[in-house]
């Protein structure tokens, strides 16, 4: 897995195959998530052998507890991080006086997006680190660096949370059968990806939390009843995700809100209904006949390089 993660960086020919294989649980548009996933899972499988056998790790007060003790702390820490990501998303919109039910778009230096249902606030911090260090990243892998300047600096806490979750994950493998260890490592890897790319309502986050909560809830002897509570939590999160999308959508029109007062913004290919300036923001109303993803992609092309920040309203109904 570790070797494969490095091969993915070097060989573009593997991109399509890997994206298809990992899409059900990573929902990635580039191989960036897959690279991180295989690296995390491979390294944890390798290091878990060391953690399970090292005597000086077993015999300390902090490391001698049962695996579920560390798994409980892990789940709490991850949950708080997801909630913090949502708070950052809301903060950005309140700062600009924009509805929380919008996709935030920054176009400098490259196009980056974020929303409460697919957050990139912590990913942007990683993008800044990669840029500062000077690590080469293929152009088709998005780092989210363009939105970093609008994210509170406290988001840098992800650099403390990420390794803490990783290490706690290794300790949570204690006293478990092999199949449970593999499920946990898979769940921790996807959860770590969800924290960076997607947030609480993303596929990696929900898949990861399913595994973490499921393993934590298993008792001896095994009973399917033990899985009722963790399953209910995931179902509730899915319902909340759907309700946010439905309640936050406007099926009548799309509203593109551009920061600053601008005159007659050209949106070729769109049926523009109205354009007005409100509180220092230019709000353009267009027809909702187009699919939301098509709208976003076309707006990226039209406004990129001209307007550094804008917001686009949702229309989940357009997918049906």
| 23 occurs within a structural domain | no
In a shared domain, residues 88 and 179: yes
Hey, which bits of the chain come out as E strands? 102-106, 112-114, 253-259, 272-278, 281-287, 309-313
Among 246, 263, 293, residue at a domain's last position:
246
Average pLDDT score over the chain: 89
| 304 occurs within a structural domain | yes
* 211 touches 183 (CB < 8 A): yes
Residue 286 pLDDT > 60: yes
Per-residue DSSP letter, 311: E
Residue 20 pLDDT > 90: no
Average pLDDT of span 67-75: 94
| Separation between Cα atoms, residue 233 and residue 206, nearest integer Å | 10
pLDDT of 269 reads 87
* 44 touches 1 (CB < 8 A): no
Kind of pairing between the strands at 281-287 and 309-313: unpaired
| 30 occurs within a structural domain | no
Per-residue DSSP letter, 224: G
In a shared domain, residues 66 and 214: yes
Among 214, 246, 278, residue at a domain's last position:
246
| Separation between Cα atoms, residue 310 and residue 287, nearest integer Å | 18
In a shared domain, residues 262 and 241: no
| 274 occurs within a structural domain | yes
Q: Considering its fold, how many domains does the chain have in total? A: 2
Element (H, E) at 181: helix 178-196
pTM of the model: 0.91
pLDDT of 207 reads 96
Closest CA to 173 of 69, 55, 54, 96: 69
pLDDT of 75 reads 97
Residue 43 pLDDT > 60: yes
Sheet of strand 272-278: strand arrangement:
112-114, 102-106, 309-313, 253-259, 281-287, 272-278
| Separation between Cα atoms, residue 231 and residue 213, nearest integer Å | 8
> Between 158 and 320, whose confidence is greater?
158
Helices 121-133 and 158-171 pack at an angle, to 10 degrees, of 100
pLDDT tens-place string over residues 176-211: 899 999 999 999 999 999 999 999 999 999 999 999
| Separation between Cα atoms, residue 108 and residue 115, nearest integer Å | 17
pLDDT tens-place string over residues 110-168: 888 999 999 999 999 998 888 888 777 766 677 788 999 999 999 999 999 999 999 99
Element (H, E) at 22: helix 15-26
Q: Which of 44-58, 211-225, 301-315 has the lowest mean pLDDT?
A: 44-58
Which residues form the domain of 291? 253-319
pLDDT of 198 reads 92
């Amino acid at each position: 897995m570790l070797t494969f993660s490095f091969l993915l960086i070097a060989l573009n020919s593997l991109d399509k195959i890997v994206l298809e294989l990992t899409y059900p649980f990573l929902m990635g548009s580039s191989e960036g998530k897959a690279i991180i996933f295989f690296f995390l899972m491979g390294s944890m499988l390798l290091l878990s052998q060391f953690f399970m056998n090292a005597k000086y790790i077993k015999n300390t007060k902090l490391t001698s507890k049962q695996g579920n003790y560390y798994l409980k702390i892990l789940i709490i820490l991850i949950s708080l991080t997801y909630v913090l990501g949502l708070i950052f998303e809301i903060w950005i919109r309140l700062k600009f006086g924009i509805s929380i039910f919008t996709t935030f778009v920054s176009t400098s230096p490259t196009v980056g997006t974020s929303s409460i249902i697919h957050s990139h606030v912590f990913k942007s911090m990683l993008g800044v680190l990669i840029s500062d260090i000077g690590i080469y990243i293929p152009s088709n892998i998005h780092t989210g660096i363009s939105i970093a300047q609008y994210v509170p600096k406290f988001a840098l806490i992800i650099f403390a949370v990420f390794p803490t979750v990783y290490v706690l994950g290794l300790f949570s493998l204690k006293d478990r059968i092999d199949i449970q260890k593999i499920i946990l490592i898979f769940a921790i890897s996807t959860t770590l990806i969800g924290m960076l790319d997607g947030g609480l309502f993303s596929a990696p986050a929900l898949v990861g939390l399913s595994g973490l909560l499921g393993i934590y809830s298993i008792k001896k002897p095994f009973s399917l009843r033990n899985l009722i509570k963790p399953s209910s939590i995931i179902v509730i999160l899915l319902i909340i995700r759907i309700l946010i999308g439905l309640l936050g959508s406007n099926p009548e029109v799309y509203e593109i809100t551009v920061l600053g007062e601008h005159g007659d913004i050209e949106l070729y290919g769109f049926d523009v209904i109205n354009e007005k300036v409100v509180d220092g923001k230019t709000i353009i109303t267009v027809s909702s006949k187009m699919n939301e993803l098509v709208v976003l992609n076309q707006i990226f092309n039209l406004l990129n390089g001209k307007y550094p920040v804008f917001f686009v309203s949702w229309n989940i109904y357009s997918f049906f």
